[in-house]
Each structure stands twice: as C-alpha cells, then as structure tokens.
Amino acid sequence: MPFSSLIGQDRARGALRSALARATLHHAYLFGGPAGVGKATLARLVAQAANCEGGPLLAPPEGEGGTGGGKPAARDPCERCGPCRKIARGTHPDVLLVSEERVMARAGRYEPKAGRTPSRDIVVDQVRDLIDGALALKRFEGRWRFVILDPADAMNVQAQNALLKTLEEPPEQTTLVLVSAKPELLLPTVRSRCAQVAFAPLDPAVVAERLRAEGRSAEEARLAASLSGGSLGWALAQDPRTLAAREAAVAAAALLDPDDAASWIAFARDRGEDRESARECLELLEVYLRDVLVAQAGSPVGLALEDLAPRSRAAAAALAPEEVLRRLEGVRAASAALKQNAAPVLALEHMLIGWFHGAR
Ligand SMILES: [Zn+2]
C-alpha cells in the first residue's frame, strides 16, 4: 500500500514521510483524531517504510504528490519484502502492537497474570511486559523498532504512568506510536511527552469517492458518506440495506401530520425502540433538515440525501427558514438529551412536540 492510499491526511502523512526521510523520527507520537480516518494505517505505513528492504529509503526528488514543494520524503514501502509482509500481518518481532488486554488474549497474544479475567483496558502488566520484555532486548531483525498502542486511551491510569519513563527515554532506534480517537482521555503527562499529529475528519465527498471506487453505487456512496461524520472506516462498514431502511424512517418523519398526535407518538415508539436506532434516526433527520435549508438557499451544492430531494424541496417551499432552523435545534437538543441518557422514546416525543406544538 503506497502512502498515497491514505486519503485526505496530507499534513500528517507529509510530516511523517519527511521525518522518515530526514531520519528525524520522534521517539513518541500521538496520532489523534476520529475513528476510521487512517491513523492506524499511517502508523503501519511508517513502520513498513522504515524497515522495508526494497531499496533506498528516499523517494526520487520529484516524489509523488501529497508532500509538496519537492521536500525529501520517504518512498513507499515495497509490500513484497519480508519485513513489509510481516508488518502487514502483525508478526514482525520489532513492530509491537499493543491493544486491550481482552482483544490480545482472544488473539492468543497475551495471557493475563494468575488466570485473571482479561479486562477491556490496556493494563499495567502489559506495559511492564513490554518494557521489561521486548524493549529490554536488542532489536531482532528490523532497522527501527515500533510500538503501536491502539487504542492508546484504553490504557488505564496505572498503565499510563508505567509508560511515562519509556515515553521520555525510549531505547535507541525505537518509536512509540499512541493511536487514539479520544486523546483527551490520556493523562496530560503522557500527551506532553509525545509529538502530536492531528488527523481530521474526511470530506464527505472524499469518502463518497472512495466508496464508489470500492464498487458502491453512487446513491449508496452519497448516503453513507453524508452520514459518516468523515469516517471512511465507518462508511465502509455500513450495510447499504440498513442505510436505505434508515432513509425510509426519515421519509416517514418528514411526512408526519402535525395534527395527528397518535402518528407521531407511534413514530417515537417505533424509532425509539433502542438507543442506537434513535441516535441514527436523529442523525439522519439532521442531515435531512440541513438539506431543506440548502434547498431554501437555492444552493447549487447537491443535496446529501438525493433520494429524498423531492421531499426536502417540498419542505423547503412549505416551511419558513426559521421553522426549519427551529426543528433542527429540536433534533440537536434530542441528540444531546440522548447522550445524557434520556429515554429514547421520550427524547423523540419531546422533539416532535416541540416541532409541532412549539414546546421547548
Ligand atoms: Zn518492503
């Protein structure tokens, strides 16, 4: 996989390729940003590029796009040599992957001490094993050793504290990469010892383009991308049929009759059956109402929910923009209430009462 396959993260990729090329790799990085935007992919690419046997580390002066200005950049890993293949499989002895105790135990890569039930955390025993085990030894075969902690925020406080000294003074030719979708959960003392690399949510258009390249229809790609919050990983994991069913639910909400209270109570019961489906319904309603605003503004930008375009255009003509904004606020308030553990049915009902009866 070439560096260019990592889409939409030009700054993060450029910084790491340039550090590889100049041999100025930091001893500890914190890759922070939403799930599914390429953090773990870049960590693996960097480990491969640093250990690849397939030729010089530097790309030709022109390089390929993405790093800009003819700066030196690491060339792509070859993907064929022993180190590249082992790193892709997760079996390279100098590229160590640390994840939650439970996940590693299930994969047969870690056994909790004294028959303890493995936890959801990265625990202090794992960190001590790493420091007193692999990191205390010489490198086996690699040019540069990597420790990839993913998700780093799964480290409990003791585990983080046990890692501090190593973050400050790691063994020679060793880089630690902390990967996290919630870097704010890490101790400030851990964060401050890492070079922080920020990953941004992807542009929905970029997500849609990649989904098209994966063989999704234009319709599916647009719908999944508009709901993805910029996470390609999320969009790729969605079943198109489920997405279509969710879209039908929004269509139903758009058609609710303000004077038929029984129909919207039924809607709230139906969509509020569980927290997750209520959350998804609210997310879609938000996208739909944004479409209504886009249609009202006469914007040349396409609507996110193309299937619902006739409905959103009709709503755009029927409702005043302030009314659409008010409903949008209602959706956001319901989402916020749901996050704070409100009962899903009540959150939806309250939202609909607000929509149709102006209650706050
Ligand atoms: Zn290689």
Place of tokens 């640390």: 98
Confidence tier at 360 by pLDDT (50, 70, 90): very low
> 105, 111 in Cβ contact below 8 A?
yes
CA of 284 to the centre of ligand 1 (A): 43
CA of 47 to the centre of ligand 1 (A): 10
Q: Identify the residue with better confidence: 234 or 240.
A: 234
How far apart are alpha carbons 305 and 248 in whole angstroms?
11
Give the burial class of 322: count Cβ atoms within 10 A of its Cβ; 0-12 exposed, 13-18 middle, 19 or more buried.
exposed
CA of 14 to the centre of ligand 1 (A): 20
Helix, strand counts (H, E) of the chain? 16, 5
**Cα-based angle 27, 152, 190 (whole degrees, multiple of 5):** 55
- Count of CA atoms in the C-beta half-sphere (13 A) of 270: 14
- With a cut of 50, say whether residue 259 has pLDDT above it: yes
CA of 172 to the centre of ligand 1 (A): 22
Comparing CA positions, the residue from 252, 24, 63 lying closest to residue 144 is: 24
Reported for 55-58, long-range contacts at CB under 8 A and 24+ positions apart, including other chains, are: 57/20, 57/21, 58/21
CA of 77 to the centre of ligand 1 (A): 5
The tens digit of pLDDT for each residue in 237-258 reads 888 777 777 677 777 887 888 8
- With a cut of 70, say whether residue 209 has pLDDT above it: yes
**Cα-based angle 148, 174, 87 (whole degrees, multiple of 5):** 50
CA of 82 to the centre of ligand 1 (A): 7
Among the listed ranges 27-36, 145-154, 212-221, which one has the minimum average pLDDT value? Answer: 212-221
The secondary structure element, H or E, covering residue 275 is helix 275-296
CA of 50 to the centre of ligand 1 (A): 9
pTM: 0.73
Confidence tier at 59 by pLDDT (50, 70, 90): low
> 203, 230 in Cβ contact below 8 A?
yes
How far apart are alpha carbons 345 and 337 in whole angstroms?
11
Average pLDDT of the chain is: 88
The tens digit of pLDDT for each residue in 87-132 reads 999 999 999 999 999 999 998 888 888 888 999 999 999 999 999 9
- With a cut of 60, say whether residue 178 has pLDDT above it: yes
- With a cut of 60, say whether residue 60 has pLDDT above it: no
The tens digit of pLDDT for each residue in 293-340 reads 999 988 767 777 777 788 888 889 999 999 999 999 999 999 999 999
What pLDDT does 70 receive? 62
For residue 144, is it left (φ>0), alpha (ψ between -120 and 50) or beta? beta
CA of 91 to the centre of ligand 1 (A): 14
How far is CA 80 from its chain centroid? 28
Residues with CB under 5 A from ligand 1 (ion): 52, 54, 77-78, 81, 84
Reported for 162-167, long-range contacts at CB under 8 A and 24+ positions apart, including other chains, are: 162/124, 162/127, 162/128, 162/131, 163/127, 163/131, 163/190, 164/189, 164/190, 164/193, 166/131, 166/135, 167/27, 167/28, 167/193, 167/194
The tens digit of pLDDT for each residue in 62-88 reads 444 444 456 778 889 999 999 999 999
Average pLDDT over residues 271-294: 88
What pLDDT does 64 receive? 47
How many C-beta atoms lie closer than 10 Å to residue 91's C-beta? Answer: 10
How far apart are alpha carbons 135 and 289 in whole angstroms?
53
Confidence tier at 55 by pLDDT (50, 70, 90): low
In the chain, the N- to C-terminal Cα span, in Å, equals 52
CA of 85 to the centre of ligand 1 (A): 7
What pLDDT does 309 receive? 81
Among the listed ranges 18-27, 188-197, 212-221, 247-256, which one has the minimum average pLDDT value? Answer: 247-256
CA of 142 to the centre of ligand 1 (A): 12
Place of tokens 């993405």: 66
What pLDDT does 114 receive? 82
